[in-house]
């Protein structure tokens, strides 16, 4: 089998517990929130590095985000990725999944050689889970969603094991393909500190570099209309303490549970 050139799409997300909601502007206020790489994207990076170990090739990271995302891409480079690209431009801001997947597809095409695109199943902030499918559509290639494991069949097709309700499904698709990776399917390796000390530069591309009419990008290119945004209140816990011996407590607990069934 020939070496694989893999592109992993990653997103910088705010730490969910530090995000507040601005009901007036109908946006999330991320100003005070710290950022991290989207958790399932970390699993996608690990999967890509594992495939590179088995088949050779390259792993490139691609992200769309503000300039401060660059050091976070260097975290992925320190894990072992070969190259990193950041699409960063005011014109790309405020994008929903349609222009996001378009911009990423254009970025992938601009990187050039590729066999496989891996994405996390969804982002922890937007949580639409639509971007991987969008990328596959724009690129006109096959896709596997919610993959837990990837391997290759003797005929060169990509074999993906995916989670479905009540079990697993195995599918095979020809390359090139886009795959979305389930959260927590592997344990992302920690950074190689030598690579971390000597960080590779992140290539930054603007909207103009993508060769797309700006009306299809960012806020302008987003058909989504946000009706309202609010912070859900977490339900009040109905704490109860049970007294008695362990046996009595167990009996009381069982009674309580029975009442709820």
Partner 1 sequence: MSEAGVRVLDDLVWDEVTAATQGAAAPCFQCGVCTAVCPWGLVQKEPVNVRRLIRLAQLGTDGWGEAIWLCTTCGLCEARCPRGVPVSEIILALRRLAWDRRAVPKGLPSMLWAIHWDGNPLDQPPSQREAWAKGLNLEPFTPEHELLFYVGCTGAYDRRTQKIARSLVTLLRAARVRFGIFPDEPCCGESIRTVGQEEYLAEVVAANTERFKAAGVRKLVTVSPHCLDMFRSHYPPWDGFRPLHYTEYLDQLVSDGSLRFKRELRGTVAYHDPCYLGRRHGIYDAPRRLLAAIPGLTLVELPAAREDALCCGGGGGRMWLETHAGERFGDLRIREAEGTGVEWLATACPFCVLCLEDSAKVLGVERPRVVDVTELAVRALGEASS
Name which of 172 and 191 has its Cβ closer to partner 1.
Answer: 191
- How far apart, in whole angstroms, are the C-alpha atoms of residue 6 and residue 53? 12
Tell me: does residue 34 bind partner 1 (CB under 8 A).
Answer: yes
Q: Taking contact as CB under 8 A, which single stretch among the options 4-12, 125-133, 142-150, 193-201 is the one that binds partner 1?
A: 193-201
162 has which bridge partners?
A: 147, 169
Tell me: does residue 190 bind partner 1 (CB under 8 A).
Answer: yes
Judged by CB under 8 A, which of 24, 113, 187, 236 binds partner 1? 187
Judged by CB under 8 A, which of 2, 18, 224, 242 binds partner 1? 18
Tell me: does residue 248 bind partner 1 (CB under 8 A).
Answer: no
Query: Which H or E element spans position 231?
Result: none
- How far apart, in whole angstroms, are the C-alpha atoms of residue 9 and residue 43? 11
CB of 56 to partner 1, least distance (A): 17
Alpha-carbon distances, residue 134 vs 68, 109, 243 (angstroms): 25, 14, 56
Judged by CB under 8 A, which of 2, 3, 15, 151 binds partner 1? 15
CB of 126 to partner 1, least distance (A): 19
Contact 73, 10 (CB under 8 A): yes
- How far apart, in whole angstroms, are the C-alpha atoms of residue 188 and residue 70? 19
CB of 80 to partner 1, least distance (A): 10
Contact 20, 29 (CB under 8 A): yes
**Structure tokens of 118?**
């891996």
Residues that bind partner 1 (CB under 8 A): 15, 17-18, 34, 36, 42, 75, 187-191, 193-194, 196
């Amino acid at each position: 089998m020939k070496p694989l050139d893999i592109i992993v799409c990653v997103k910088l997300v705010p730490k969910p517990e530090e995000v507040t909601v601005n009901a007036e502007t109908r946006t999330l206020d991320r100003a005070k929130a710290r950022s991290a790489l989207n958790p399932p994207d970390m699993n996608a990076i690990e999967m890509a590095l594992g495939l590179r170990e088995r088949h050779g090739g390259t792993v490139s990271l691609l992200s769309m985000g503000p300039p401060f995302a660059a050091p976070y891409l260097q975290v992925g480079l320190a894990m072992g990725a070969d190259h990193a690209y950041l699409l960063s431009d005011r014109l790309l801001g405020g994008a929903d999944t349609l222009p996001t997947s378009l911009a990423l597809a254009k970025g992938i095409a601009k990187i050039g050689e590729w066999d496989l695109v891996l994405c996390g199943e969804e982002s922890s902030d937007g949580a639409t889970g639509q971007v991987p499918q969008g990328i596959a559509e724009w690129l006109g290639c096959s896709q596997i969603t919610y993959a837990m494991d990837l391997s290759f069949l003797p005929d060169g097709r990509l074999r993906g094991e995916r989670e479905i309700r009540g079990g697993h499904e195995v599918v095979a698709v020809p390359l090139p393909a886009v795959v979305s990776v389930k959260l927590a399917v592997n344990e992302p390796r920690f950074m190689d500190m030598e690579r971390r000390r000597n960080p590779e530069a992140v290539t930054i591309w603007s909207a103009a570099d993508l060769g797309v009419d700006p009306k299809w990008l960012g806020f302008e290119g987003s058909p989504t209309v946000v009706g309202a945004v609010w912070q859900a209140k977490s339900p009040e816990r109905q704490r109860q303490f049970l007294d008695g011996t362990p046996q009595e407590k167990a009996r009381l607990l069982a009674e309580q549970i029975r009442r709820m069934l």
